[in-house]
Structure 1
Amino acid sequence: MEFIINGDPHKYTNFVKTHPKGHVLQTLEWAAVKEDNWRPIYVTVEDGGAVKASMLLLLRQLPFIRKNMIYSPRGPVCDMHDFDTLKFLMDNVRKLAREHDAIMLKIDPDISINDKILADNLKKLGFVQNMEALNFEGIQPRFVFRLDITPSLDELLASFHPKTRYNIRLAQRKGVKVRMGKREDLQEFHRIMEITGLRDGFVVRSLEYFQKMYDSLQPQGYLELALAEYEGKTIAGIICLFCGSKCWYLYGASSNEHRNVMPNYLLQWEMIKRAKDRGCTLYDFRGVSGDLNPDNPLYGLYRFKKGFNGELTEFIGEFDMVLNPFWYTVWQKGMPVFRNIRRKITLKLKKTKFNDTRGNTQN
């Protein structure tokens, strides 16, 4: 077997798009989205010219220290039960990581928690498993809802919770219209996204980030934007990503106005239909909390996604290959505190700016 760094991009891309474990976050186009803060390296393991494994590695310098971390979102792409290939890949990635002065390599494979063999294999290769993320503490969600969309549309609709079916039909009766968006619609989508973030208490990325995502992913067919309109106004929107036979619901936004006409339910249904038209077999609603207590502030999100009758899936979580134990410990203890402070400050500033803008508009 041969370990190749930054080899043939077309061969790499074709492998990711066609492999059962291929993921849009492992594409070179996703690397382009992240390149402002992460330096991408893509590697393959080849045998006789045929790709057996691939991995997108994103390098980032950690704050306050002159060290790097490496992250492979939903990687690697390979038969994870082929231990010989997996070992060859990780042994070489470990060497590459040391050359780049990385304190760790983080992966979060698209693998079920029930796959004990794989978890054991990763531990044999020197990985440490992180299982503490019940809500959204990890980089990628550990708990998701996934819907098999191979049945007919009538069968899918009939499988939804009665309240979900009712809300889809309510939106249709009330005259909510869904249309596919273009790049120029991102500004309105982002405006509504900011409202959603302030209402639900999460930080929203900049308009420029969404524009870069669109420019990198949409021309290759990896991204679609849909908007819900009511009485001539855009009141909700959704961004989904596509790769191979899979579709992922990535971002959703809704205005504080006209929420009673249930645009989010209709948007999901229309995007499910869109995914089927594109030949997808899986629709991934992405993150929900693993804490199913109704008192959890995230329970409403769980209930919304559960209504579409997907399967609640728990992944094996994040696995870290520790390369510098001292700085890894510092990072593990310090980063959650740093992120929490940064999030609170950012939300406070955004809320102040939003209120000032609304006040000036009203005046």
Structure 2
Amino acid sequence: MEFGREGMDTMEFLDFTDAGAVVEYERFIQDSKGSFMQSVLWCAVKPDWLHEAVISRDSAGKIAGSMLVLIKRFPPPMKSFLYSPRGPVWDYRNMDVLWDLLRGVWQLSRNYHAYALKADPLIEETDSDRIFALRSAGFTYQPFQEDAQVIQSRNNYLLELRGRNEEELMASFKSKCRYNIKLAQRKGVTCRSYGKERLPEFERLMLETGKRDGFHVRTQEYFARMLDGLGEHCRLYLCDYQGQALSGAVCVQYGGRTCYVYGASTAVHREVMPNYLMQWEMIRWALQSGCEIYDFQGVPCWYDRDNPNYGVYRFKTGFNGRLAVYAGEFRMVFSKRYKSAFDKVLGCLGYQKLM
């Protein structure tokens, strides 16, 4: 299969050792409102993966599209697996750019003996134009994928910030939400951002939350890599009350969007509502930084009131945002022979442990 524009070599791979090239790449991702998972900085958080970045340039030599690709190598006879988290980043109206990027992906599949690629671009399921473009380029796509079957959550909750100040946002929250934020403040709960020195407390909160709610918990070392690797883009927030950390979060700000990536809390002193104050302080950071979106991230099973996770959705709706359902995963298979074997690996390890 041939990719790219006839007579033009517009595809290249990012040289991660070239500081100027990396700066140019980062500027493109941020200006394009791309995800922090398409940033070069994300590679430091995933040391068990190799990484490459495919770039397509326009006729003026400017970056027109990009695709950060993580490479997972498995022991023989298994082949490698390619994953582009929240990629590619490109103008969907320019198919030539997409062809360029995929020409690079096919070259990576040969270089790393890859079995398949998964990509989950930051597009909503109603975005038929972008979905059509990706399918036209050779991706296979199955709509209405369940969250348990994909790597990144399809169901997110977003708060639009553009053109709004703190007073307007607070007034837009549901009355119970406003009351709980002010209650936490009156009771003396404090919420601030901290460095790695308080990660042990956050890990204890995560372990308690994971046990209570039944989900896989990242290690303290993982969160340390996030803080180190993402630098100024990443913050650890903790809510304290009477000398005890009641709740915490790891929050990432990139490309005009602030994301509540990981959160945890103890069952002790829930009556002082620390989680509401914590969200408000992270929203304030987003506003102060000029972000357009605050992303509460996943709201699993928002459609099922009887599901134990429905409470997550109910809590986030107090901030009066909107539900965003993303398209999900797009796949490209390079070696059908290994499909069943790789699917079994994913089934045994689970997506979260693999990623």
Question: Is the shorter-chain TM-score for this pair beyond 0.5, marking a shared fold?
Answer: yes
- Report the Cα distance in structure 1 between the residues aligned to 2:161 and 2:143, rounded to whole angstroms: 29
- Report the Cα distance in structure 1 between the residues aligned to 2:88 and 2:353, rounded to whole angstroms: 30
Structure 1 residue runs of 4 or more that deviate by more than 6 Å after TM superposition: 340-343
* 1:358 match: none
* 1:123 match: 135
- Report the Cα distance in structure 2 between the residues aligned to 1:33 and 1:342, rounded to whole angstroms: 14
Structure 1 residues 209 and 341, CA, compared in 2 at 3 Å: closer, same or farther?
Answer: closer
User: What SS is found at the alignment partner of 2:147?
Assistant: coil
Instruction: Please say if 1:5 is aligned against 2:43.
Output: no
* 1:196 match: 209
- Report the Cα distance in structure 2 between the residues aligned to 1:212 and 1:134, rounded to whole angstroms: 29
Structure 1 position 63, deviation (Å): 6.4
Structure 1 residues 232 and 138, CA, compared in 2 at 3 Å: closer, same or farther?
Answer: same
Q: 2:80 aligns with which of 68, 71, 75?
A: 68
* 1:296 match: 307
Q: 1:57 aligns with which of 69, 73, 76?
A: 69
Structure 1 residues 91 and 290, CA, compared in 2 at 3 Å: closer, same or farther?
Answer: farther
Q: Amino acid of the residue matched to residue 102 of structure 1?
A: A
What's the Cα RMSD here? 2.0
* 1:179 match: 192
Structure 1 position 339, deviation (Å): 2.1
Q: 1:141 aligns with which of 153, 159, 178?
A: 153
**Structure 1: 5+ residue stretches without partners:** 344-363
Structure 1 position 50, deviation (Å): 0.8
Q: Amino acid of the residue matched to residue 222 of structure 2?
A: Y
Q: Is the 8 A contact 2:165 2:287 kept in 1?
A: no
Q: Amino acid of the residue matched to residue 104 of structure 1?
A: A
Structure 1 residues 251 and 56, CA, compared in 2 at 3 Å: closer, same or farther?
Answer: same
User: What SS is found at the alignment partner of 1:296?
Assistant: coil
**Structure 2: 5+ residue stretches without partners:** 1-8, 16-20
- Report the Cα distance in structure 2 between the residues aligned to 1:305 and 1:13, rounded to whole angstroms: 31
- Report the Cα distance in structure 1 between the residues aligned to 2:216 and 2:268, rounded to whole angstroms: 20
- Report the Cα distance in structure 2 between the residues aligned to 1:96 and 1:256, rounded to whole angstroms: 47
- Report the Cα distance in structure 1 between the residues aligned to 2:206 and 2:254, rounded to whole angstroms: 24
Give the number of aligned pairs: 339
Q: Amino acid of the residue matched to residue 188 of structure 2?
A: G
- Report the Cα distance in structure 2 between the residues aligned to 1:309 and 1:266, rounded to whole angstroms: 15
Structure 1 window deviating more from structure 2 (209-218 vs 285-294): it is 285-294
TM-score, normalised on structure 1?
0.88
Q: 1:24 aligns with which of 36, 55, 63?
A: 36
Q: Is the 8 A contact 2:13 2:104 kept in 1?
A: no
Instruction: Please say if 1:315 is aligned against 2:326.
Output: yes
What are the superposed Cα offsets for residues 113-137 of structure 1, whole Å, 9 maximum, x if unpaired? 1111221221121111144543343
- Report the Cα distance in structure 2 between the residues aligned to 1:232 and 1:136, rounded to whole angstroms: 37
